[in-house]
């Protein structure tokens, strides 16, 4: 037997450096770190709120600090990227029949963006009015 | 060839991914940027307003849903991402990330119910 | 006719003489309407008869001519030179597969996986041919049609990083074909296929990178198929564990 | 050398080979089946067929009409008993394929849809959008995975048949990934190796269609039948030879010359039909031979359009509208866009005739049996004579199914027959060793300055110029002389690639020698047939001559010499030769 197939090893920890497609994927994946940190921070806020007005004030002061604002700025960016990457692929996971065909993907994506915009707007308005 | 048990966590992952996609950006925007920068005025998130806001059970359930599902979403994704970064002891990672999500879920639950 | 001189950097590997692959360059006088495969055929005919690669149909339907062209999994018979700007084009065998020789890769793994998902109709109830065809409305056809378009070209496997990291993964094309049969109104074999699909190396090894669907030359969208199967498997799981009385 | 014992060896895993394998496995699960293919089965060229497969199912149609169309379309050179059998079995086979999951296009109520096709009086062509062959092949291949008794040998290149005692005993083949010779011993062999369009320069056929199986049988002493009948398809894309399916015309596409004139009406296929309305068997729905010949005359008259790929006419689909084109012919639209840069929704597509199909092939009878005991053949490589002098589009996909199965049944009958055929293993071993020796010798050939590409191109060019759409004694004389010369010259090809693993230079050399043998059979058969019939048109004998040539040509291999041509009577049961009428006047 003269066979000797050559196996090209995939670098286990750096494979995603090989092309832009993989980098975009990894960017999408790490959005979860920021979501998790934000939610953890929020949970701490809830604990502070439970502990009374004084603790809550220190918490508020903390959130207003420059590092916290910078973190939230970055987290906001990643959260938006998460939303975009999530909505853009929704037609793949959900196929809604319509006549002999399916509802076109752009309508499904569009609807998601619409709801996203609506929810955000309502929240902002409520905040302003509250 | 055993069937995988991933469906449990995957269900939470997908739900959390969807919910957080809709609400996380605007939540971060409001609570992390606009309010601290004073856009809505000094006492937009005053103790009174927040406790009043959170006294409503719908708000409690909603907020808990968002926080817990997003945490599970993030935990599950992080587990996969760790693998993608070349960290291969999946069970340790899984324990870590799900543990983190579980811990904070319980804390959030406790805090919200107590408010 | 206008000619364009293009340098092809081709990855070569001869198991009988080489320890590892190496790059050979060829200067090819190309016609403007050529595809990469035409240039490779030119090399084979006129410059180096020892180059090995697969091709047959030259019309993007037999699925044999997949290669990495400038790092991207591509059907070389559909890779028009006019879409490549520079004067150098790099051609390598599909990644994630062992190289048998030159541009020829080993496909045994896929053939086994394809067989394992039972890609054929397992009828709900046998119907003799004499009784005529099964009725299937255009709507029911549409439901699975997209997933029948797979030409087994393996570009998706070369694009999928999860397959690259773990070759136990059943992978995009085989899963898309599983979904194809599951969705066919004539089929009743889903529960048998779930044995393979619902294990770790089935749909759960996919992290929805989506690269498979991006490179697929036939718009099969394996990424979509896999996500739909994940949802269905999750529903299964909940039904099975939370409502066990519903039976198997 | 590894020896593989089986009951039946199938050479070729395209539509015909897979159908045969499944039929064997279903009939008797204990049979040991070896299925050889020089490419993975799903790469077989059946995947390229677009238009559809004919079979009578609709109420307004009848078996007799299909029979009439086929026999008339074949210019009465069909064996009518075989045609009758074929037409009877066709609907069953197509339905069977439906049960196996083929995604046939459907009517609103869920019944299988049919479309019109050239030369067919009724709509009876089953189709799966415009990728019928692709779906047929993948359905068969995937279904074949169900059967454990089908042992596949993918990328195994058959080089020789093993014959002793006048019976076939197996074959030997090169396993491409190792370069090792394998010996397959079996009392029955079915050849399903496809066509040989690659002997021409401009063809819809893939690189693998090099006539290997035809050459194997021919060299082993089985005659090649009706080889002069080569079908040109009227609508190929210039340059690549990529086919635009006949479905284009079936759906209403029309042909125009450089003056936008629908020239077919001048060639006995008129009167002109209104745009968008197709009348079966007239104008654009005339048979392929007539349409290709009309092109030849238009070209001679200077009515074609010069392009950088040679002279063309136009296929006009614009009046069909985008929606219909997308629904019925999406693949064709994509092909025209990619390969000639034309969107058929808005522009006319340049096209020209292109070599498409071999009506001739290994001589078989109605049972798919060759004259050699144990050897069967089915599919494009075979000539059961249902296609006669011109195949009707969409009959051949059905043929693969009907005669693929038939070959399997005949093989089983042979295995279970009175003689209980067994393999003479000593003789097989000896022959296999000789075959291996011949392959080894190829590596040691002295360089005579010849190249594979050089000889191949010379062969193809001489086929086009002498054995193309129109032929004549003089032209054919040149071609046969060139081919005889090229057959000698091929020994001057030295292999530069000395390695064993996946040596495609070696397989190309073997394919070239098969092509040369087959090409010679085509040219010599064409030379001897001094009449015009179906696809065989002679400038020097323009009429059909039923007194002398209502016969099959049988090319008999004679080693280094040109083949001897004998004749065999055509089987006529109920349709006497008549006039092929494609004018709208009648019918
Ligand atoms: C572009 C195109 C469109 C067509 N459209 C239609 C249509 O619409 N309707 C219709 O009815 N017909 C159509 N045809 C004709 C029809 O597709 C073919 O006649 C038919 O597919 C041939 O099938 P087959 O099984 O005989 O051979 P193939 O599918 O060509 O298979 C041949 C097999 O033999 C194997 N083989 C060959 N040589 C060797 C060897 N030396 N060793 C081992 N294995 C070998 C190959 O690997 C392959 O598996 C079309 C043909 C073409 C080219
Ligand atoms: S899914 Fe697409 S990319 Fe993958 S093998 Fe099939 S056709 Fe090729
Ligand atoms: S690229 Fe791979 S990870 Fe999943 S979506 Fe496609 S199979
Ligand atoms: S040669 Fe067939 S897909 Fe490219």
Give me the interface pTM, i.e. the ipTM: 0.95
Give domain status of residue A43, yes or no. Answer: yes
pLDDT tens digits along C60-75? 999 999 999 999 999 9
Provide DSSP, A12-48. Answer: TTTGGGG-HHHHHHHHHHHHHHHHHHHHHHHHHHHHH
Among all ligands shown, which has an atom nearest to the Cα of C159?
3
- Please, which residues bridge with residue D533 across strands? D536
- Specify whether C167 is located in the same domain as C235: yes
If asked whether residues C96 and C112 sit together in one domain, one would say no
Q: Select the more confidently predicted residue: D261 or C245.
A: D261
* Residue C246 reports pLDDT greater than 80: no
Residue D396 is inside which H or E element, if any?
A: helix D395-415
Contact C211 CB / ligand 3 (< 6 Å): yes
pLDDT at A100: 85
Tokens of C145: 């049609």
- Give the span between the Cα atoms of D299 and D238, in whole angstroms: 14
Give pLDDT tens digits for D353-390: 999 999 999 999 999 999 999 999 999 999 999 999 99
The alpha carbon of C208 and the centre of ligand 3 are apart by a number of angstroms equal to 5
Regarding the beta carbon of C56 and ligand 4, being less than 6 Å apart is answered yes
Task: Check pLDDT > 60 for residue D30.
Answer: yes
Taking each continuous run of H as one helix and of E as one strand, the counts in chain D are 15, 24
Decide: B and D in contact? Rule: 3+ Cβ pairs under 8 Å.
no
Q: Which of C38, C73, C105 is the last residue of a domain?
A: C105
> What pLDDT, in 10s, does the model give residues B6-42?
888 899 999 999 999 999 999 999 999 999 998 888 8
Query: What does the mean pLDDT of chain B come to?
Result: 92
Q: Which residue has the tokens 């009227």?
A: D234
The pLDDT > 70 percentage for chain D reads 99
Which residue does chain C place closest to A28, by CA atoms? C209
Q: How confident is the model at residue D165 (pLDDT cuts 50, 70, 90)?
A: very high
Residues of chain B found within 8 Å of residue A12, distances taken between Cβ atoms: 86, 88
Task: Average the pLDDT over D91-98 and give the result.
Answer: 98
Give the model's pLDDT for residue A129.
63
Rounded Cα distance, B100 and D517, in Å: 75
* pLDDT at C245 exceeding the cut of 80: no
| Mean pLDDT calculated for residue range D179-208 | 97
Chains in contact with B via at least 3 Cβ–Cβ pairs below 8 Å: A, C
Query: Are C183 and C114 contacting, i.e. CB atoms less than 8 angstroms apart?
Result: no
On average, the pLDDT of chain D sits at 95
Contact A25 C142 (CB under 8 A): no
Q: What is the pLDDT of residue D117?
A: 85
Closest Cα to residue D330, out of D254, D251, D398?
A: D251
What is the residue range of A69's domain?
15-89
* Euclidean distance between CA atoms B96 and B90, whole angstroms: 10
- C144 and C166 in a common domain: yes
Task: Please indicate whether residue D152 is annotated as part of the active site.
Answer: no
Distance (Å, rounded) from C-alpha D420 to C-alpha D398?
32
CATH number of residue A26's parent domain: 1.20.1300.10
pLDDT at D442: 96
Q: Evaluate if residue D325 carries a pLDDT over 90.
A: yes
C128 and C73 inside one domain: no
Residue A63 resides in a domain: yes
Q: What is the DSSP string of chain B?
A: -PBPSHHHHHHHHHHHHHHHHHHHHHHIIIIIIITTTTTT-TTTT-HHHHHHHHHSHHHHHHHHHHHHHHHHHHHHHHHHHHHHTT---HHHHHHHHHHHHHHHHHHHHHHHHH-
Among residues C128, C127, C238, C221, the alpha carbon closest in space to that of C183 is found at C221
The ligand 1 atom nearest the CA atom of D510: 41
Question: How far is residue D522 from each of residues C33, D78, D195, D483, D519, measured CA to CA in Å?
Answer: 32, 18, 13, 11, 5
Q: How confident is the model at residue C55 (pLDDT cuts 50, 70, 90)?
A: very high
Q: Is the pLDDT of residue C248 over 60?
A: no
Phi, psi for D203 (deg, rounded to 5)? -145, 155
In a domain, A129, yes or no: no
Question: What tens digit of pLDDT does each residue of D242-251 get?
Answer: 999 888 998 8
Query: Which pLDDT does position D394 carry in this prediction?
Result: 93
**Domain boundary at C77, C105, C133, which?**
C105
Q: Are residues C61 and C120 in the same domain?
A: no
CA of C154 to the centre of ligand 2 (A): 6
Establish if A12 touches chain D: CB-CB under 8 angstroms: no
What residue's CA is closest to ligand 2, atom 1? C173
Residue D10 bridge partners (DSSP): D35, D190
Domain boundary among C105, C138, C161: C105
Q: Could you give the domains of chain B?
A: 11-114 (1.20.1300.10)
Q: Could you give the 3-state DSSP secondary structure of residue D527?
A: helix
Q: pLDDT tens-digit profile of C181-218?
A: 999 999 999 999 999 999 989 999 999 999 999 999 99
What's residue D287's pLDDT? 84
Assign A1 a pLDDT band (cuts: 50, 70, 90).
Answer: low
Evaluate whether D141 touches D101 at the Cβ level (below 8 Å): no
Burial of B37: CB neighbours in 10 Å, binned 0-12, 13-18, 19+ = exposed
CA A1 to chain centre: 53
CATH number where C214 lies:
1.10.1060.10
CB contact under 8 A, D146 and C118: yes
Confidence label for C3 from pLDDT (cuts 50, 70 and 90): confident
- Using the atom order of ligand 3, give the atom closest to the CA of residue C171: 7
Query: Does residue B43 have a pLDDT over 90?
Result: no
- Of A14-18, D147-151, D481-485, D577-581, the poorest mean pLDDT is in D577-581
Q: Is residue A28 part of a domain?
A: yes
The mean pLDDT value for D341-362 works out to 95
In this prediction, residue C18 has a pLDDT band, given cuts at 50, 70 and 90, of very high
> Above pLDDT 70, what percent of chain A?
98
- DSSP secondary structure letters along A55-113: HHHHHHHHHHSHHHHHHHHHHHHHHHHHHHHHHHTHHHH---EETTEE--HHHHHHHHH
C89 and C127: one domain? no
Question: Residue D425 and residue D253: Cα distance in Å, rounded?
Answer: 58
- Rounded Cα distance, B35 and A76, in Å: 14
Of all residues in chain B, the one with the smallest CA distance to A34 is: B74
Same domain, C224 and C241: yes
Percent of chain D with pLDDT over 90: 87
pLDDT of the residue at D322: 94
Q: Is residue A99 part of a domain?
A: no
Q: Is D585 annotated as a binding residue?
A: no
Pocket of ligand 2 (CB under 6 A): C 150-156, 172-173, 176, 215-218, 220, 222
* Ligand nearest the Cα atom of residue C166: 3
Cis peptide before A57 (omega within 30 of 0): no
Q: Convert the pLDDT of each residue in D123-135 to its tens digit.
A: 999 999 889 999 9
Q: Is D315 in the pocket of ligand 1 (CB under 6 A)?
A: no
Total domains in the fold of chain C:
2
Mean pLDDT of D307-311: 87
**Tens of pLDDT, residues D277-301:** 888 888 998 888 889 999 999 999 9
- What is the pLDDT at residue D169? 96
At residue A21, what are phi and psi to the nearest 5 degrees? -60, -45
- For the beta carbon of residue C130, count every other beta carbon within 10 angstroms: 7
CA dist D1 and D4 (Å) reads 10
> Where in the sequence is the domain holding C87, given as residue range(s)?
3-105
Of C33-37, D244-248, D444-448, minimum mean pLDDT range: D244-248
C-alpha of residue D402 to centroid of ligand 1, in Å: 15
How many domains is chain A built from? 1
CATH number at residue C7: 3.10.20.30
D355 touches D288 (CB < 8 A):
no
pLDDT tens, position by position, A62-85 = 999 999 999 999 999 999 999 999
In this prediction, residue D586 carries a pLDDT of 41
| Extended beta strands in C52-158, E state | 66-69, 72-75, 88-92, 99-101, 104-105
C190-197 and C222-242 helices, crossing angle to 10°: 100
Q: Is residue A127 part of a domain?
A: no
Q: Are D135 and D103 in contact (CB under 8 A)?
A: yes
Question: Among the options D19, D115, D288, D529, which is catalytic?
Answer: D288
C76 CB within 6 A, ligand 3: no
Q: Confirm whether A68 is domain-assigned.
A: yes
Residue A40 in any domain: the answer is: yes
Domains of chain D, first to last? 2-231+356-428 (3.50.50.60), 233-353 (3.90.700.10), 445-569 (1.20.58.100)
Please write the tens of the pLDDT for every residue from C113-164: 999 999 999 999 999 999 999 999 999 999 999 999 999 999 999 999 999 9
**Average pLDDT value for residue range C91-108:** 98
Half-sphere exposure of D100 (CA within 13 A, CB side): 23
Dihedral sign from CA coordinates of A48, A49, A51, A52: positive
Q: What is the mean pLDDT of residues D139-144?
A: 98
């Amino acid at each position: 037997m003269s066979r000797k197939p050559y196996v090209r090893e995939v670098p286990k920890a750096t494979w995603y450096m090989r092309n832009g497609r993989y980098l975009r994927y990894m960017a999408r994946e790490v959005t979860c770190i920021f979501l998790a940190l934000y939610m953890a921070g929020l949970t701490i806020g809830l604990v502070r709120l439970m502990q009374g007005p004084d603790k809550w004030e220190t918490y508020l002061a903390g959130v207003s600090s420059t590092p916290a604002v910078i973190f939230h700025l970055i987290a906001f960016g990643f959260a938006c990227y998460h939303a975009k990457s999530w909505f853009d692929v929704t037609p793949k996971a959900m196929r809604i029949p319509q006549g002999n065909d399916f509802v076109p993907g752009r309508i499904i994506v569009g609807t998601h963006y619409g709801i996203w915009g609506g929810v955000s707007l309502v929240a902002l308005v409520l905040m302003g009015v509250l | 060839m055993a069937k995988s048990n991933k469906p449990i966590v995957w269900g939470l992952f997908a739900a959390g991914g969807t919910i957080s996609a809709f609400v996380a950006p605007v939540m971060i925007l409001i609570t992390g940027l606009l309010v601290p920068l004073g856009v809505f005025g000094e006492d937009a998130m005053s103790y009174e307003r927040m406790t009043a806001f959170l006294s409503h059970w719908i708000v409690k359930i909603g907020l808990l849903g968002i926080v817990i599902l997003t945490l599970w979403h993030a935990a599950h994704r992080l587990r996969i991402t760790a693998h993608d970064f070349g960290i291969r002891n999946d069970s340790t990672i899984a324990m870590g990330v799900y543990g983190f999500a579980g811990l904070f879920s319980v804390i959030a639950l406790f805090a919200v119910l107590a408010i | 006719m206008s000619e364009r001189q293009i340098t092809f950097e081709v990855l070569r590997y001869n198991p009988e003489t080489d320890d590892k692959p190496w790059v050979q360059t060829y200067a090819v006088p190309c016609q403007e309407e050529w595809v990469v495969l035409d240039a490779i055929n030119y090399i084979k005919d006129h410059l180096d008869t020892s180059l090995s690669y697969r091709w047959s149909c030259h019309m993007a339907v037999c699925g044999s001519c997949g290669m990495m062209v400038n790092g991207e999994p591509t059907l070389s018979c559909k890779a028009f030179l006019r879409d490549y700007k520079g004067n150098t084009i790099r051609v390598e065998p599909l990644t994630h597969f062992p190289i048998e020789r030159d541009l020829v890769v080993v496909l045994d793994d896929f053939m086994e996986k394809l067989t394992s998902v039972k890609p054929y109709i397992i009828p709900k109830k046998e119907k003799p041919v004499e009784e005529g065809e099964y009725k299937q409305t255009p709507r029911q056809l549409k439901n699975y049609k997209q997933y029948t378009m797979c030409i087994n070209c393996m570009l998706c496997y070369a694009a999928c990083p999860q397959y690259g990291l773990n070759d136990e993964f059943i992978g995009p094309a085989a899963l898309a074909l599983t979904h194809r049969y599951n969705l066919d109104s004539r089929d009743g074999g889903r529960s048998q296929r779930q044995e393979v699909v619902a294990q770790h190396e089935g749909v759960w090894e996919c992290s929805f990178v989506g690269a498979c669907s991006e490179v697929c030359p036939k718009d099969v969208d394996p990424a979509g198929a896999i996500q739909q199967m994940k949802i269905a498997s999750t529903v299964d799981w909940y039904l099975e564990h939370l409502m066990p009385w519903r039976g198997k | 050398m590894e020896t593989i014992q089986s009951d039946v060896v199938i050479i070729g895993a395209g539509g015909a080979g897979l159908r045969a394998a499944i039929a064997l496995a279903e009939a008797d699960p204990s049979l040991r089946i070896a299925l050889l293919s020089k490419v993975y089965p799903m790469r077989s060229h059946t995947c390229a067929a677009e238009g559809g497969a004919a079979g009578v199912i609709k109420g307004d149609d009848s078996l007799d009409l299909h029979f009439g169309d086929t026999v008339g379309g074949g210019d009465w050179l069909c064996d009518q008993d075989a045609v009758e059998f074929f037409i009877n079995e066709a609907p069953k086979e197509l339905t069977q394929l439906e049960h196996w999951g083929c995604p046939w296009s459907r009517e609103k109520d869920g019944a299988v849809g049919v479309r019109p096709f050239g030369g067919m009086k009724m709509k009876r062509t089953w189709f799966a959008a415009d990728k019928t062959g692709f779906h047929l092949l993948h359905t068969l291949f995937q279904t074949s995975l169900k059967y454990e008794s089908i042992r596949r040998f993918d990328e195994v290149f058959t080089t020789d048949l093993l014959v002793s005692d006048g019976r076939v005993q197996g074959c030997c083949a090169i396993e491409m990934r190792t370069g090792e010779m394998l010996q397959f011993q079996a009392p029955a062999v079915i050849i399903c190796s496809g066509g040989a369009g690659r002997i021409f320069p401009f063809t819809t056929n893939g690189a693998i269609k090099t006539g290997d199986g035809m050459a194997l049988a021919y060299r082993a002493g089985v005659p090649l039948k009706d080889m002069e009948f080569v079908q040109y398809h009227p609508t190929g894309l210039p340059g690549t030879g990529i086919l635009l399916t006949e479905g284009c015309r079936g759906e209403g596409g029309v042909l125009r010359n450089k003056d936008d004139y629908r020239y077919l009406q001048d060639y006995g296929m008129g009167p002109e039909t209104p745009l968008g309305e197709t009348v079966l068997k007239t104008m654009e729905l005339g048979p392929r031979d007539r349409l290709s010949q009309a092109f030849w005359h238009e070209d001679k008259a200077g009515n074609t359009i010069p392009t950088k790929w040679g002279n063309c006419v136009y296929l006009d689909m614009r009046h069909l509208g985008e929606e219909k084109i997308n629904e019925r012919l999406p693949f064709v639209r994509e092909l025209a866009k990619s390969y000639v840069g034309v969107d058929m929704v808005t522009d006319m597509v340049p096209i020209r005739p292109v070599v498409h199909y071999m009506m001739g092939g290994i001589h078989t009878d109605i049972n798919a049996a060759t004259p050699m005991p144990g050897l069967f053949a089915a599919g494009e490589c075979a000539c059961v004579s249902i296609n006669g002098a011109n195949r009707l589009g969409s009959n051949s996909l059905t043929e693969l199914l009907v005669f693929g199965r038939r070959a399997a049944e005949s093989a089983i009958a042979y295995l279970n027959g009175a003689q209980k055929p067994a393999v003479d293993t000593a003789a097989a071993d000896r022959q296999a060793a000789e075959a291996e020796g011949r392959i080894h010798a190829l590596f040691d050939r002295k360089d005579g300055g010849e190249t594979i590409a050089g000889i191949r191109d010379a062969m193809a060019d001489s086929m086009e110029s002498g054995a193309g759409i129109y032929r004549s004694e003089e032209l054919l004389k040149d071609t046969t002389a060139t081919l005889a010369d090229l057959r000698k010259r091929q020994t001057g090809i030295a292999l530069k690639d000395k390695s064993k693993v996946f040596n495609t230079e070696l397989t190309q050399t073997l394919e070239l020698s098969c092509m040369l043998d087959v090409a010679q059979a085509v040219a010599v058969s064409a030379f001897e047939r001094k009449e015009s019939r179906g696809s065989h048109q002679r400038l020097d004998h323009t009429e059909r001559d039923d007194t002398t040539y209502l016969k099959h040509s049988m090319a008999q291999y004679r080693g280094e010499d040109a083949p001897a041509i004998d004749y065999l009577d055509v089987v006529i049961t109920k349709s006497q030769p008549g006039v092929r009428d494609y004018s709208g006047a009648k019918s």
